[in-house]
Chains A and B, each alone.
Chain A
Amino acid sequence: MTKKAFSLTEVMIAITIAAFLFGALVLMTSSSAADTQKTANRLLAMQLALETLNIIQSFPPDSITTLVLNPYNGPITDSSGETIVQPGQAVTSGLEMKYADSYQKGYFYREITVEDLPEGNDTARFLKKVVVKIGWNENNNIPSSIENPHRDKSIEVATFVLNEKQYY
């Protein structure tokens, strides 16, 4: 009487198929973790953009120029990989306005431009257009130079600032 059983070849084929399936599962979950980091960077970029717009809106409108906003232009991490400190003076004792380590991986870069509206419109002198662009890198890609604004991804937010001191 012969016993029915799987041959070694059949088992090897089955294992190879199973290995492919497991491999696909690992790839899928790894991709999920990478996507999470991407989502986190996008979330941080959006918060940075809104924060910067809000800070600019808090300045007297006639003082808002690209030159004045220079301290807010540039990378959020310095060349040593440390995050920067928000320019300003703490009122609360012991407060340090330093961006957390969560901001290190994206190598965020902030660019601000202030534009006057084109002449020919009666209301042009009342308004300034402020654009905040936040760039960042994904997959922990280190930029060629921290001072070089080029990054993998970027978002832009813009607003108009009303100068109430202008007159007709």
Chain B
Amino acid sequence: MELIVAIAIVALVIGIISRVTSRVRVDVAKGTANLTNQQYAQIAMNYLRRDFLAASPNYDLSDNLENIEDVKAEPIRDAAVFTSSGNSKPILVSEKEIHMFKAEIENGKTKYTPISYLFDPVAKTLVRHSSEGEKRFNNISDVKFGLFLPEQNPRSPLVWVDMTAETYEGNNQTRTFTLNTSLVSSVLNSIMNNPHSLTTFQ
């Protein structure tokens, strides 16, 4: 009798331990790993938002006036349909890349510094290139960029971002965490909302 009870107790203890460790493993995967990846996505999104808020096209004053006015008239474009005709460049957006410029005043002249974001699907990394060097945002499984015109202000295009954090598996389930946002440039808004800017440039 004692032997049977002992075996039953041992079986029960093994069952409980197995259940608890399994639960802990799943919860840690859900709780810790996923949270870390969410934070990566959030940091990347904050960088993008901050950079794009000051995003500007590049006006090269040595360029001919026609090219400068062309960029000024359409300062942000879909890279898929853009062909370069001069040194002045609009902000370019494609599905996996954004190329923009940061305008800074240096010795009374405007200096345009390029900043770009490129998504590397193999390394699952969003890479920011700038004059400060390269910054990598890891554990991001997908990023998509696109241009749209907001319903209430169709003159000024915004950038739609779809950023998915690395997936994880827990309880035999694969889940994803996706952040969406719209990026806005105050420089572009100033150009697009002010009709006089189409005939003058800084």
Contact = CB atoms under 8 A, between A and B. Distances in A.
A100 interface: yes
B148 A90 contact: yes
Contacts of A54: 49, 53, 182-184
Interface string A29-44: 1101101100110011
Nearest to B177: A102
Interface stretch (A91-99, A119-127, A148-156): A91-99
A48 to B, nearest CB: 8
Interface in B170-191: 176-184, 186, 189
A71 B38 contact: no
Interface of B: 2, 5-6, 9, 12-13, 16-17, 20, 23-24, 27-28, 30-32, 34-35, 38, 42, 45, 49, 53, 78, 80, 93, 95, 145-154, 156-158, 160, 162, 164, 176-184, 186, 189, 193
Contacts of A39: 35, 38
Residue from B17, B24, B28, B93 having most chain A Cβ neighbours under 10 A = B24
Given A11-B6, A86-B148, A92-B146, 12 more contacts: A8-B5, A22-B20, A29-B27, A29-B28, A43-B42, A47-B45, A54-B183, A58-B189, A63-B153, A71-B152, A89-B149, A101-B178
A100 B41 CA distance: 14
Interface of A is mostly: helix
Nearest to A68: B152
A59 B149 CA distance: 11
A88 B148 contact: yes
A59 B151 CA distance: 11
Nearest to A64: B152
Contacts of B178: 100-102
Contacts of A88: 148-151, 154, 158
A78 interface: no
Contacts of B17: 22
Interface string A1-39: 000000010010001001100100110011011011001
Contacts of A15: 9, 12-13
B184 A55 contact: yes
Which 6 residue pairs spanning A and B have beta carbons closest together? A100-B178, A95-B146, A92-B146, A29-B27, A87-B151, A91-B147
A58 B162 contact: no
Interface in A43-68: 43-44, 47, 50-51, 54-55, 57-60, 63, 68
Contacts of A11: 6, 9
B151 A89 contact: yes
A58 B148 CA distance: 13
A102 B179 contact: yes
A47 B12 contact: no
Contacts of B146: 90-92, 95, 97
A69 interface: yes
B24 A57 contact: no
A54 B151 CA distance: 15
A58 B149 contact: no
Given A15-B13, A19-B16, A55-B158, A60 B193 contact: yes
B148 A91 contact: yes
A97 B145 CA distance: 10
